[in-house]
A and B are shown apart, each in its own frame.
Chain A
């Protein structure tokens, strides 16, 4: 066993750990895209007060927001094959990354639903009424009048959510996915130098968070001049 912390090793390990960064990006991209889409559906069910779906959405959103993402991931990992097994679909051969993707999409859907719902609710009712009065249909009103305005309101919260989603991906390694943190631990087991790997991962996350935050605040300023 050598030194506790060897700064030179930070640079030695960096390429190997950075080579797994695409896993993190993949999870974030899928989670945000899928989460926004599902979240929109959940938000619509709540806003339109669709009888059974509204109650189901409230229940689902409360559960996801009230439980740790790590447990959600394990529930999906053990529960999803059972659930799909009932429908006759066998996913026992799925890779672990797929379960991570499914759980992060489901997780982000709940957060996105709340962001979208409160943003849509913040658009004055007069806007919808005006759209209806000139003869737009319900869907047209939503797409052309309400959602564009809601988008501006939702944007800062959306940006914060994306940064959070990225930090949450650091838990994927607990399911055995070889992302950056998984790679750092693999290196640690091989070489007994685990701290240097963690430092590399921390640096990457710091850089990515700062970059995302800065670009979202820049975009926010472009979108909302005042």
Chain B
């Protein structure tokens, strides 16, 4: 079969309708990742007992697991127990058509929490130790020090990396197609199932992801510039 660029446009039109799925699968995990990852990083920085010890062991271990395994394992863990209850409550049909996007969001969020906790940890470490000592020497509590002195400085380091993490989440979200969620990639593939124009469909999907990532990159540059202006460095 020859290559027909016109079909890219056909696939683009179908795939773009699933843009919101990809955005849900990356924006919510980003928010969850920041909300869960930051406290973990803070606990590790201040060596909060139990939490920091557990995180010191768990985070490097969880970081070693590829995203696709998060998706596959969570898909199994969430669906299988429900599958067993299904006969008792006549759920079988409902399970089959269940929207798996929640599983995708859960898996992406777990992965994001691990990744972003590492981002925040290196951001906290990027603030010189003297800053922490100065805070405590003038009698600020940990919370005060974090909120007023440390975080504003750490953010300058964290924002570009967080944008990178966000790009990683957007690209990574395409993996959920292995459990049958229709996102941009899945949507593009449905358009190819009618006419077997798979190459054109994948190129269309790639173009959408590319544009998304370029947009985030632009925003990242803007934010970086603003932070530089604010802190004068």
Residues of A participating in the B interface, judged by any CB pair closer than 8 Å: 4, 62-63, 65-72, 74-75, 78-79, 82, 167-168, 170-171, 174, 181, 194-195, 198-199, 201-202, 205-210, 213
On whether A68 and B185 interact (CB within 8 A), knowing A167-B66, A205-B64, the answer reads yes
The smallest C-beta distance from A192 to any residue of chain B, in angstroms, reads 10
Does B171 interact with chain A (Cβ within 8 Å)? Answer: yes
Chain B residues whose C-beta falls within 8 Å of the C-beta of A206 in the assembled complex: 61, 64-65
Which residue in chain B gives the minimum CB-CB distance to A85? B2
23 A-B residue pairs with CB within 8 Å: A4-B80, A65-B213, A66-B167, A66-B210, A67-B213, A68-B174, A68-B185, A71-B202, A71-B205, A75-B203, A168-B66, A170-B69, A181-B69, A194-B72, A194-B76, A198-B72, A201-B69, A202-B65, A207-B64, A208-B64, A209-B63, A209-B64, A210-B61
Count of chain B residues near A, Cβ 8 A = 37
Residues of A within 8 A of B80 (CB): 4, 195
The answer to whether the Cβ of B86 comes within 8 Å of any Cβ in the partner chain is no
Q: Which one of A62, A71, A195, A198 has the greatest number of beta carbons of chain B within 10 Å?
A: A71
Task: For the complex formed, measure the closest distance between the CB of B150 and the CB atoms of chain A, giving whole angstroms.
Answer: 24
Determine if A4 and B213 form an interchain contact, defined as CB atoms under 8 angstroms apart: no
With A75-B203, A82-B3, A195-B73 in contact, do A67 and B64 touch (Cβ < 8 Å)? no
Main secondary structure of the interface of A (DSSP, over half): helix
Chain B residues engaging chain A, CB cutoff 8 angstroms: 2-3, 60-61, 63-69, 72-73, 76-77, 80-81, 167, 171-172, 174-175, 177-178, 185, 198-199, 202-203, 205-206, 209-210, 212-214, 217
Q: Considering only CB atoms, which chain A residue lies closest to B177 in the complex?
A: A70
Contacting residues, chain B, for A171 (C-beta < 8 A)? 66, 68, 175
Q: Quick one: given A71-B209, A198-B72, are A79 and B174 in contact (CB under 8 Å)?
A: no
20 new A-B pairs (CB below 8 Å) besides A68-B185, A170-B68?
A: A66-B212, A68-B171, A68-B175, A68-B209, A69-B171, A71-B174, A71-B206, A75-B203, A79-B203, A167-B66, A171-B66, A171-B175, A181-B68, A181-B69, A199-B73, A201-B69, A205-B65, A207-B64, A208-B64, A213-B60
CB pair A72–B69 under 8 Å, yes or no, is: no
B32 CB to closest chain A CB (Å) equals 21
Alpha-carbon gap, A199 to B73, bound state (A): 8
Known A4-B81, A79-B199, A195-B77; judge A66-B68 contact (CB<8 A).
no
- Write the nearest CB–CB distance from B108 to chain A, whole angstroms: 13
B210:A67 contact, CB within 8 angstroms: yes
